[in-house]
A and B are shown apart, each in its own frame.
Chain A
Amino acid sequence: MRRIGVVAWVVWIEMLRRKDVYVLFILLGALLLSLVSLNIFGLGSTSRYVLDVGLTMSWIFGWILAVYMTARELPREESRGTIFPLLARPVRRADVVIGKWLGAWSVTLTAMLLFYGLVAGVNAGLGGTLDARAFAQGYLLHAVALGILCAVALLFSTRMNHDAASALSFVLTGAAFVVVPRVPELLVHQKGAAGTALYALYHLVPHVQLFDLRKRIVHEFGAAPASTAAVVVLYGLVWIALLLLVAWLAYRRKRFSRTNLSA
């Protein structure tokens, strides 16, 4: 556990050195500020659209951060050659895989905490109401979804370079967001091989929409039933465990060559 913690801490140090999270935080702040400054028909303050846009941007920024940051961890260690001293220590490949995932996930979660805090603060400043329980539940489920996204990116990065792993992860997780929830509709018109492929996709790709509580938060439907939320969290944890297992299987016998090091 300590070894996993050390690997995760290295990810944290790298994140603090880089400016990704700060830049996204400032972008979100600027966007919310510009929305707040709009004069909507002279009606006075309306808050729900700011909350909606803020949460949507948090999802998009979280997605970019999780995939982009996780996908670069292993390829960077390999291209810089730092993987050799790392593996020369009493650190197992499984520790590296889980440590990298844990580091990237915890960094993303912290960034999300900042984003959610900013959105809630702006909403409160506009006099908007917020169901605290639904908001907390939304963050929890979002956190699990980010865990899946990090695990997907890490899995691809075990056998690919940063660009390829990022691109594939964005495509797969993008499809999980956009296409998978619509498969039952698409199947009305798609038959034959395409229909079978869509049906398979429906069952083989994680249902990220299950973790999205924005509608409940923004339109004040309140928190989801605890039992449903628990089932969704469990579903997410199973996906994370499965993806990390496959990532470890892909990584444990990987051979590294010093000839591939970047200049």
Chain B
Amino acid sequence: MQQRSSSVPVLAAALLWTAAFSLSCLLSALPRVRSTPGEWAAAVFGSSREAIAGALYERADLYFHRGVGHVHEEAFARHPFQRLTETISPSRHVHVHGANIKEIMPWLWLALQSDPYNVDLYLVSAFWLWSEAERYDLALRVLRQGQARIPYNHALQTARGRLMLKQGRLTKAAEAFDAALAFWEHTADPDDEQARFDRAEILFYRALLHEADGENERAVGMLHEIVKLFPDRHTIADRARALAAGEPVDPPARALLQRLVRKHEQAGHACGRDAHGHEHEHEHGHGHDHEHEHEHEHAGA
């Protein structure tokens, strides 16, 4: 009896230590801490939540690859233990599709519960809900929840605009992009490169919607604004010139909008790993990057 009572605290202490050690490892790997100097409690607990959310997001990524983790460089290969492990635990690079995508959602949901102020988690969750699960209603609800948590975030409104475009609700899409532009004005840093790309993207969508409504003058104004942000976007400058001259543009606005939404979906599905499972910088379902922005430029051609 005496032995049992002395063992349990030791075991509990060992488990707590292991948990603390694991958490400290995760925390040290975090790139940012959402707190101001002096707010140590917010730093510790805020970071813990981010760390847990990050681990849960990784889990979602793992499910997207049917449980196959990232491949790392190894000092030796084809050792009998490695070959046995590979046979027991498949490591080929595969993706889940269609209804199976539903299985990654619990991890994204749990990640959102851990870190409800993470915009990317709302964007990724909504993306998978509408692009694979085809649940536009749920995707919209997730984006609304995100907007309630993080008011005036332009990325959430941009995603809402795309979702409306996908459904063919052009008026609602225009409203969302207008809101995104207004939010951008008030919250984004105009010197931040990603923010500038975001603005150009919103302007392009909105310009095409104006064009689709026959409001060419407004469309031209927005296209010029994009060219002001990125003077090397010649195809957009050409389109503005053609619209201003009353010449026909190819492709027409509606077709281009559909193509953009499709391209956004394809970009979201693109995998950051190569055929061997090695990791490159990219996040699934995250249409919020420069590479995607280049596609807009080409789509405008």
Contacts and interface: CB of A to CB of B under 8 A. Distances in A.
Contact of A184 (B67, B75, B87, B107): B75
A90 interface: no
Interface in B62-106: 63, 66-68, 72-77, 79, 81-82, 84-85, 87-90, 102-103, 105-106
Nearest to B89: A215
Most chain A beta-carbon neighbours within 10 Å: one of B68, B77, B88, B138: B88
Interface string A55-80: 00000000000001000100110010
A131 interface: no
Interface residues of A, number: 44
B142 A41 contact: yes
**Chain B contact residues: helix, strand, loop or mixed:** helix
Interface string A209-232: 110110110111100110010011
A212 B67 contact: no
A40 B3 contact: no
B41 interface: no
B290 interface: no
B82 A184 contact: yes
Contacts of A192: none
A48 B79 CA distance: 32
Given A212-B88, A231-B84, A40 B11 contact: no
A74 B135 CA distance: 59
A263 B2 contact: yes
Interface in A183-213: 184-188, 202, 207, 209-210, 212-213
Nearest to A80: B3
Interface stretch (A2-10, A106-114, A160-168): A160-168
B85 A207 contact: yes
Interface string A20-43: 000000000000000000101111
A48 B63 CA distance: 9
Contacts of B77: 184
Contact of B6 (A163, A181, A218): A163
A218 B81 CA distance: 23
Say what secondary structure dominates the interface of chain A: helix
B105 A46 contact: yes
Interface string B1-21: 011101100110010000000
B67 A41 contact: no
A42 to B, nearest CB: 6
A219 B62 CA distance: 10
A262 interface: yes
A74 to B, nearest CB: 12
Given A49-B106, A215-B67, A167 B10 contact: yes
Contacts of A202: 81
B57 interface: no
B85 A181 contact: yes
Contacts of A177: none
Interface string A153-165: 0000000011100
A207 B7 contact: no
A251 interface: no
Contact of B102 (A43, A162, A218, A224): A43
Contacts of B74: 184-185, 187-188
A83 to B, nearest CB: 14
Interface of B: 2-4, 6-7, 10-11, 14, 63, 66-68, 72-77, 79, 81-82, 84-85, 87-90, 102-103, 105-107, 109, 125, 129, 133, 135, 138, 141-142
Given A181-B85, A186-B75, 11 more contacts: A43-B129, A161-B3, A167-B14, A170-B14, A185-B72, A188-B72, A207-B84, A210-B88, A215-B67, A216-B89, A228-B87
9 contacts: A42-B138, A48-B63, A48-B103, A162-B3, A209-B85, A213-B88, A218-B67, A219-B67, A221-B90
Interface of A: 38, 40-43, 46, 48-49, 68, 72, 75-76, 79, 161-163, 166-167, 170, 181, 184-188, 202, 207, 209-210, 212-213, 215-216, 218-221, 224-225, 228, 231-232, 262-263
